[in-house]
Amino acid sequence: MERIFSMLRSFVDDSEKTKFCVACGNKATQEALFAVGDGAILIEKYCDTCATNVQRR
């Protein structure tokens, strides 16, 4: 299934559990939203460095 980049937004961690970047494993600070079809949205968390690479794709 193809995923289409939709937007990037800041990630604020409300819980005490640390979230990690899906690309490199560092602490996540951004959320990328992708449209994947049938109205579904995929949310992936990234660090600042990896988030800039996601926008370029």
Q: What's this model's pTM, rounded to 2 decimal places? A: 0.84
41 φ, ψ to 5°?
-120, 130
Question: How high is the pLDDT of residue 41?
Answer: 95
Q: Is the pLDDT of residue 50 over 80?
A: yes
To 5 degrees, how large is the angle CA 40–CA 43–CA 39? 10
Question: How high is the pLDDT of residue 15?
Answer: 80
Q: Is the pLDDT of residue 25 over 90?
A: yes
Contact 29, 11 (CB under 8 A): yes
Contact 45, 31 (CB under 8 A): yes
* pLDDT band per the 50, 70, 90 thresholds, residue 33: very high
Report the pLDDT averaged over residues 23-52: 94
SS3 readout for 9-20: EECCCCCCCCCE
Task: Say how far apart CA 12 and CA 2 lie, in whole Å.
Answer: 27
